[in-house]
Amino acid sequence: MTRQPGILDLIGNTPLIHLREASELTGCHIYGKAEFMNPGGSVKDRTALGIIRAAEAAGELRPGGVIVEGTAGNTGIGLTLVANALGYQSVIVMPQTASQEKIDQLEMLGADLILVPNAPYSSHQHYIHTAQSVAEGRAHSEPNGAAWARQFGNPANRQIHYDTTGPEIWEQTGGKVDGFICAVGTGGTLAGVADALRERKPAVKIGLADPMGSALYSHFNGGALQAEGNSITEGIGVSFVPGNLDGVEVDFSCQVDDDTALPCVFDLLKHEGISVGGSSGINIAGAIAMAKELGPGHTIITILCDAGSRYHSKLFNPEFLMRHKLPFPEWMAS
Ligand code: PMP
């Protein structure tokens, strides 16, 4: 028998899926990179592997050591999966408001889970600051080392997208890519893919799709860090400029509200059989806006970050949607 892959070999090399309705609506060729097909179910498996491999190379993690991270959930799932496969432990700090499905998944994987209040970044209780202090404490007590993954500033995050996601998109489109757009959590995906594509095709247009409540749209349109409104999407939207976005310039940016993003999620599921979470809805709406700006005939790529099953109790729950005054389709109510 030929050598078969191990679980970590299955991270990356995700397919590009043709998004039919978005393409028909705009006359463009819009594709979503199916990151929900990674073994841990999200784009963050790539980041997790990149960060753990970099920590090993730097001598910060030795067999049996601990990887610590603050996360909206997906990075924690990716890190714990990679940690389990390689013989490390994980400590995951998460806001209490993260979806129950992500909490369940982390418990199943055996992460040491710390839930914190959904505090603003300026508060010491914010999950990022909590993770940093937990990591610093554990670094003194763990004989095999404790590393803080610090995905927002860790260059290994941007690097893995430069090394894998970007080149995959280039190969899969045969270089016929006119635009790439996605939302930002840590900025690793946007920055790494932008670096890789611009190096191969300087004219490629890079776009930011920003949810409401995030300050990046105003940052890229005048410099101020200002946020308005809010969003129920998880894993995206920031009130500061993450280190991983250093030096990144965007050619196009748009703000997408939940009322626009959620119908993209529902239609994709019902009309095309593709199940995605809220951040993918922001991304698809962003790709449609970019397509309208570029005009018909262009090829635009976005990211399908994770699957709808990760948000069943929220995005696909009419009571939750009603409580948050969000739209839901008739088929969901019946
Ligand atoms: N969507 C989801 C669901 C996520 O969990 C994340 C990661 N925080 C992103 C999008 C954004 O990816 P990145 O961190 O590379 O900006």
Instruction: Please state the atom number of ligand 1 nearest to the C-alpha of residue 277.
Output: 3
pLDDT attached to residue 140: 87
Q: What is the pTM of this model?
A: 0.97
Q: Is 189 in the pocket of ligand 1 (CB under 6 A)?
A: yes
pLDDT band at residue 117 under the 50/70/90 scheme: very high
| pLDDT of 64 above 90 | yes
| Residue 44 is a catalytic residue | yes
Expressed in angstroms and rounded, the spacing between residue 268 Cα and the centre of ligand 1 is: 19
CB atoms within 10 A of CB 230: 14
Expressed in angstroms and rounded, the spacing between residue 258 Cα and the centre of ligand 1 is: 16
| pLDDT of 334 above 80 | no
| Token pair in block for residue 75 | 């990075």
Q: Ligand 1: which of 35, 37, 38, 44 to mutate, judged by most atoms within 8 Å of the beta carbon?
A: 44
pLDDT attached to residue 216: 98
Q: Is 159 in the pocket of ligand 1 (CB under 6 A)?
A: no
Q: Is 233 in the pocket of ligand 1 (CB under 6 A)?
A: no
- Three-state secondary structure along the chain? CCCCCCHHHHCCCCCEEECHHHHHHHCCEEEEEEHHHCCCCECHHHHHHHHHHHHHHCCCCCCCCEEEEECCCHHHHHHHHHHHHHCCEEEEEEECCCCHHHHHHHHHHCCEEEEECCCCCCCCCCHHHHHHHHHHHHHHHCCCCEEECCCCCCHHHHHHHHHHHHHHHHHHCCCCCCEEEECCCCCHHHHHHHHHHHHHCCCCEEEEEEECCCCHHHHHCCCCCCCCCCCCCCCCCCCCCCHHHCCCCCCEEEEECHHHHHHHHHHHHHHHCCCCCHHHHHHHHHHHHHHHHHCCCCEEEEEECECHHHHHHHHCCHHHHHHCCCCCCHHHHC
pLDDT digit string, tens, across residues 190-201? 999 999 999 999
Please indicate whether the domains covering 7-37+164-332 and 43-148 agree at the CATH topology level. Answer: yes
Q: What percent of the chain has pLDDT over 90?
A: 93
| pLDDT of 306 above 80 | yes
Expressed in angstroms and rounded, the spacing between residue 40 Cα and the centre of ligand 1 is: 13
Q: Is 72 in the pocket of ligand 1 (CB under 6 A)?
A: yes
CATH code of domain 7-37+164-332: 3.40.50.1100
The full set of domain ranges for the chain reads 7-37+164-332, 43-148
Expressed in angstroms and rounded, the spacing between residue 163 Cα and the centre of ligand 1 is: 17
CA-proximal residue: ligand 1, atom 4 (nearest):
235
pLDDT attached to residue 299: 98
pLDDT attached to residue 145: 86
Whole-Å CA distances, 186 to 31, 120, 150, 202: 22, 16, 10, 24
pLDDT attached to residue 223: 85
Q: Which fold has domain 43-148?
A: Rossmann fold (3.40.50)
Q: Is 185 in the pocket of ligand 1 (CB under 6 A)?
A: yes
Expressed in angstroms and rounded, the spacing between residue 306 Cα and the centre of ligand 1 is: 9
